[in-house]
Structure formats: structure tokens, C-alpha cells
Amino acid sequence: MSLSRQDKAQIIWAASFVVSGVILGIAIWMIPVIGLLATASFIVVYIGISAAFLFVFREIESVKTDTLDKLKERHDELLEVKKAIAGKYYRRKIDEGAFRNITQHYERKLTELEVKIKKLERKNK
């Protein structure tokens, strides 16, 4: 099973979060040895790292949404181009062979986009 880049990043984030929590627990337990100031500074760093990871994952989600929207826009554009090509064919501005070649090309592109859109929509659920 191959993990996506986002899944790998989430696993790394979760593991680092757990390790940080363990280190935080050890730091709190070691207050008499390392001092309250060192423990407090670690807690501040821990909170900063956690906030940074949350920010990064929020950005990943927005990029995924933007990508899905752009794919849908591209799909709609290709449908419009395909309709325009059909209009040219019916008005006899292009011959049947050219129409078939162009239509096959755009059908292939539309199918590729539909597959990508479905994959992204499944991942978003």
C-alpha cells in the first residue's frame, strides 16, 4: 500500500506530536532537576511547533480544494471547446476526419480530468 504525500506528512506530524508530548512529560517530571524556566521554555516551543504543524495542514487542505476547483474549471472549459468544435463541424468549417481526431483528443482529456476529480473527491471525504 502506497501512502500519499499528505498521508506521510500526517504520520510524521502525529509521531512528532507524540514524541513531543513524551518529552514534555519528562520535562515536567524533571522540573526539580532542570528547573522551572527550562521546562517553561520547552512548553512554549512545544506550543509553537504544534501551532506551526496545524497551520501547515490547514494550508494543505486549502491547496487540495484549490486543485479540485481548478480541475473542475478545466473540465468545464474543455466541454465548451468540444461544443465549439462540434458547432464548427455542423457549420462545415472542419471536415469529418479533423472533427473525429479533435473530439477523440478532447474526450481523452475530459476522461483524465474526470478520473483526477473523482480521486480528489474521494480523498476529501
Residue 82 has what pLDDT?
Answer: 92
Instruction: Give the pTM.
Output: 0.53
pLDDT at position 6 is: 66
By the 8 A CB rule, do 38 and 91 touch? no
Tens place of pLDDT for every residue, the chain, 125 residues? Answer: 566 666 777 777 777 777 777 777 777 777 777 677 777 777 777 777 777 777 776 666 666 677 888 889 999 999 999 999 999 999 989 899 999 999 999 999 999 999 988 988 887 66
Which of these, 115, 106, 61, lies nearest to 85 by C-alpha position? 106
* CA–CA separation, 36 and 27 (whole Å): 9
Task: Give the domain range for residue 78.
Answer: 5-124
- Please tell me the distance from the alpha carbon of residue 32 to that of residue 35, in angstroms, as a whole number: 6
**Number of domains within the chain:** 1
Span 39-68, pLDDT tens digits: 777 777 777 777 777 777 666 666 667 788
* Dihedral sign (CA 30, 32, 35, 40): positive
pLDDT reported for residue 104? 93
What is the rounded distance in angstroms from the CA atom of residue 115 to the CA atom of residue 112? 5
- Residues 78, 80: Cα–Cα separation, whole Å: 5
Query: What is the per-residue DSSP string for 7-34?
Result: HHHHHHHHHHHHHHHHHHHHHHHTHHHH
